[in-house]
Structure 1
Amino acid sequence: MTFSPITHLRHFDLAVPDYDKQVEFYGKHWGLTATSDGSDLTYFAAEGSPEQYVVRVRKAGEKRLDLVSFGAANRQSVDQLAGYLATAGVKLISEPGNVQTPGGGYGFRFFDLEGRTIEVSSDVEVRQHRKIEEREDIPVRLSHVVLNSPNPEITLAWYEKHLGFRLSDTLNHPRTGDLFYFLRCNDQHHSMAIARGPHASLQHASFELRGLDEYMRGSGRMMRSGWQKLWGPGRHRAGNNTFTYFLDPNGNTMEYTTELETIEEDTWHPSVFNVQDAETSDQWGTANDMDDFITKEMFNDPDQGLYIAPPV
């Protein structure tokens, strides 16, 4: 690809069987704001983000990742990307046109190589947002999404070739090989990542808080409320961001983070970090050890929506 059409991550959309508990989780506990809701569909915004919404929850019989949405600079970039993907043999779900979700815009959807629905859009109306204040322990924005793949090297190459993502860093195990690829589309260390897993699924989604104090307060609030903490608090080496991971009511992993590294595009050189080095996972040494239980939970359930476009 000779151009990089993707500017940023907009939102991710989930379908879940236990809809009411998922809606309560995001609105009452996680710190998001419901901006548009109905009996079977709710949109959640982050108070500090200009995006119309950062998560959409849909009631469904089977759990799935409905889609991941990215922003593009303008309509020309959207059209250029759609034309390129069609020529490259990528299956388009829709042609570029008006987006029928809050904020409108101009965009289209397509399947990635493993069957996930991806949306790219521009000209979405900016939501009225605000500055998150000191000690306010709610998400400022959606930070990144991580996708499990049984063939992460092939998935990495696909996103590099077709969407212009750039590799920031890699996590490697000396015996089993590469486990995790961090990908960027702007100066944030990663807006998405590809993790090695037994099947295609959402590994986790991460939300940026205002700063260290707010991150710790948010993590503590979730723990005091009885939500199952998988891992953290700690600070990763790749990306230099903090982490605390929790399970949501439908078994998806959600992360609080802050201080994700920003990089200089022209001078950055990707590193390979050994996961057997304790500081790769947690520079502080404060988090519980990564174990088989955490790994299994982050593998998540096999995605039931591959090559099936969501109804909304």
Structure 2
Amino acid sequence: MPDRLITHLRHVALAVPDYDKQHTFFTDTWGLSEVANDSGVSFLAAEGSPEQYIVRLRKADEKRIDLVSFGAATPEDVDALAARLVADDVRIVSEPGPVDTPGGGYGFRFFDIDGRTVEVSSDVATRQHRRVEEREAVPVRLSHVVLNSTDINRTRQWYERHLGFALSDSLSSPHMGELMHFMRCNPQHHSLAIAKAPHPSLHHISFEMRGIDEYMRGTGRLLRSGIRKIWGPGRHLAGDNTFSYFLDPHGNTLEYTTELELLDEDAWHPHVYDFTQPEVTDQWGTANPMDEFVAKESFNDPDRGVFVAPPV
């Protein structure tokens, strides 16, 4: 594994046809705050996060993932990573240079092995944020993103080799084999996970809440709003985090979570958990059962952004 130059997950950028409906959902229902808007591109922040924004929303003819953005510590690390990727024949989308989004910074973009656009940046100005108060059911920060792949071992190995991610745990089934790899770029159990699916797409984006009470209040608010719940509330075994999954207006799965496990990376050894065991999917036993219908929702639509760089 190369030296790790990635520090954390910054944001996920989505494109959607019904921009107004999605924007209203993210701000009025999900609990994000708009910090900037530029000609059909909205930058949405979490109140408790120093990141300038954690979701970028763009109006487009087709639904797609525009990009997944990670942080690096310094411009020198950005340059070193870019040089490493070029030497390994990774397709570069944009060369290292100034980042023209809220907070500025220095970064570049490239395609991962599945054709998703990935951005890595440093020196982005921190946002003035605040403490999320007790009983305030809004996201504190972006927790993790899970991506669908047709070959999860190939994708896992690509992220290990090129970006220095490490495997935390895996999910497997006696009948279907390996189903998901949880990957970390810091002591958080996973900032990224790779899930088995028929096509590359977004599996889900996860948002961390202040605590269990705020997580449950947020879950209840969405249920009362008539938002379709896919799975939860419950607590996973891998990562030991809580989960409530909902569908946004364009069929993307979004998660409220809290208490994701922090690892001692020097002592940690990955587990392979049997996904068919109820306590693996939900330690509490409170969530609806994981079945083929729940799994199918997380396959999402095939991503129209594969090997097509976003226009902004």
Whether TM-score is above 0.5 comes out as: yes
1:44 matched to 2:44: yes
Tell me the distance in 2 between the aligned counterparts of 1:237 and 1:98.
41
Q: Which residue of 2 aligns with 1:190?
A: 190
| Conservation of the 8 A alpha-carbon contact between 2:2 and 2:163 | no
Tell me the distance in 2 between the aligned counterparts of 1:111 and 1:301.
19
| Conservation of the 8 A alpha-carbon contact between 2:2 and 2:162 | no
Write out aligned runs for 1:141-220 (5 A). Answer: 141-220=141-220
Q: TM-score, normalised by structure 2?
A: 0.99
Write out aligned runs for 1:226-265 (5 A). Answer: 226-265=226-265
Q: Which residue of 1 aligns with 2:20?
A: 20
Tell me the distance in 2 between the aligned counterparts of 1:6 and 1:299.
27
Tell me the distance in 1 between the aligned counterparts of 2:304 and 2:230.
24
Question: Could you tell me how far 1:39 is from its partner in structure 2?
Answer: 4.2
Report the 3-state secondary structure (helix = DSSP H, G, I; strand = E; otherwise coil) of the residue aligned with 2:44: strand
**CA RMSD of the aligned region, Å?**
0.7
Greater CA drift, 104-113 or 31-40: 31-40
Q: Which residue of 2 aligns with 1:95?
A: 95
Tell me the distance in 1 between the aligned counterparts of 2:21 and 2:269.
43
How many residue pairs get matched?
312
Q: Which residue of 2 aligns with 1:139?
A: 139
Q: Which residue of 1 aligns with 2:63?
A: 63
Spell out, residue by residue over 1:182-204, the C-alpha distance to the aligned partner (whole angstroms, 9 max, x if none). Answer: 00000100001000000000000
Spell out, residue by residue over 1:208-229, the C-alpha distance to the aligned partner (whole angstroms, 9 max, x if none). Answer: 0000000000000110110000
Tell me the distance in 1 between the aligned counterparts of 2:110 and 2:97.
13
Tell me the distance in 2 between the aligned counterparts of 1:176 and 1:93.
35
Tell me the distance in 1 between the aligned counterparts of 2:153 and 2:145.
17
1:301 matched to 2:298: no
Tell me the distance in 2 between the aligned counterparts of 1:308 and 1:34.
27
Tell me the distance in 2 between the aligned counterparts of 1:236 and 1:93.
36
Spell out, residue by residue over 1:61-117, the C-alpha distance to the aligned partner (whole angstroms, 9 max, x if none). Answer: 111000000000101100000000000000101111000111000000000011100
Tell me the distance in 2 between the aligned counterparts of 1:111 and 1:39.
25
Q: Where in structure 1 are there 5+ consecutive unaligned residues?
A: none
Q: Which residue of 2 aligns with 1:31?
A: 31
Tell me the distance in 2 between the aligned counterparts of 1:214 and 1:272.
31
Report the 3-state secondary structure (helix = DSSP H, G, I; strand = E; otherwise coil) of the residue aligned with 1:93: strand
1:125 matched to 2:138: no
Runs of 4+ in 1 over 3 A off after TM superposition: none
Q: Percent identity?
A: 64
Tell me the distance in 1 between the aligned counterparts of 2:37 and 2:101.
12
